[in-house]
Structure 1
Amino acid sequence: MSSNKQFLQNLYEAFNKGEIETIISVMHPDVKWANGVSGGFVYGRDAVREYWTNQYKVIQVQLETLKFETDENNRNVVTVHQIVRDLQGNLLADATIQQIFTIENNLISLYEIGETETIQEMIQKTRTPNE
C-alpha cells in the first residue's frame, strides 16, 4: 500500500491547496465521486471539476490524514480529520471521517465516503433554530 499511500497523500496536499486540476488529473475519465455535501455521486472528470469549483465558492475544506488502511475489497481507506469553514472563516463542521478510494491503473475510479453525515447535515446540526 505504500505507493498508494504516497499517491493519496499527494492528493490530499493538492486538495488542501485548492489544486483542482491536479486532483482531476489522477481520476479515471469516468470516475464515480461521492458528493460529500448533499449526498449521492457525481460522474466523470468534468462533473467533479464543476462540483469542486462550486464548493470552493461557498466553503473551505481542510483535510488532515490520520490513518491509511486497505479493506477486504482492496480499497484504500483513509481516516481524515475534516474541518469545513465558510468563506469568512466561521467553523461549519469538524469531524473525523473515512474516505474510500478504488484505484485502478494509477487512477481513482471510485471515491466513497464511510458512514457519516453529509456536510449539509453537519452544518444543520451546528445552526441555531433562528438561523
Structure 2
Amino acid sequence: MTTERADRVRALYQSFNDRDLDAVLAAMAPSVEWPNGWRGGRLTGRDEVRAYWQRQWEEIRPMTVVRHIAERPDGTVEARVRLVVRDPAGTVLERSETTHVYEFAGPLVQRMRVEPQDAVAGEASTSA
C-alpha cells in the first residue's frame, strides 16, 4: 500500500478522535457512503455523515486506536481498530476490535464498511 493512503486513513482517525468534523469530511467524496454503526443502516453524502456524528457526539464519546492498516488484493484498504465508546460521564459502554474497509475515489474515501470481529460489550470500567 502506498504511504499516502495509509497516512490518509491514519489522519482520518486522528481527526475523528479530535472531533475535527471538517477535516474528516474533507477526506470524503461528496457522495460518500458511510455505515451508521450507531443506529444501523447507511448514510449517503457528507451532509448526512456530518449530522450523524453531531447527533452521536452529543450522546456518546467513541474513540478509535488504529492497530493495523493494509491494502487488500481487491484494492480496498483495511484498518483494524480498537473502539472504546463512553457515555458523557466517562463510563465505558463498549470495547471492540473491528475492521473498517475503505474504498477510494482518487484521494477521497468513497465508501466505508465495517467488518466486526469480537466485541467486549457492557464492561463497566472507566479506563481505555
- Please say whether Structure 1 and Structure 2 have the same fold, judged by a TM-score greater than 0.5: yes
Normalised TM-score (structure 2): 0.89
Query: What is the CA-CA distance between 1:95 and the residue it aligns to?
Result: 0.7
Aligned length: 122
RMSD of the TM alignment (CA)?
1.7
- The residue identity in structure 1 corresponding to 2:122 is T
2:30 aligned residue: 29
Q: Could you tell me the TM-score, scaled by structure 1's length? A: 0.87
Hey, what does 2:97 align to over in structure 1? 96
Q: CA deviation at 1:116?
A: 5.2
The residue aligned with 1:77 is 78
Higher strand share: 2
Task: Give the gaps of 5 or more residues in structure 2.
Answer: 124-128
- How far is the alpha carbon of 1:72 from its aligned partner? 2.4
Q: 2 CA distance for matches of 1:105 and 1:30?
A: 13
Does 2:127 align with 1:126? no
**Percent sequence identity over matched residues?**
24
Which aligned runs of 4 or more in structure 1 are off by greater than 4 angstroms? none
Gaps of 5+ in 1: none
Of residues 108-117 and 48-57 in structure 1, the stretch that sits farther from structure 2 once superposed is 108-117
The within-5 A match list for 1:1-131 is 1=1, 2-115=3-116, 126=122
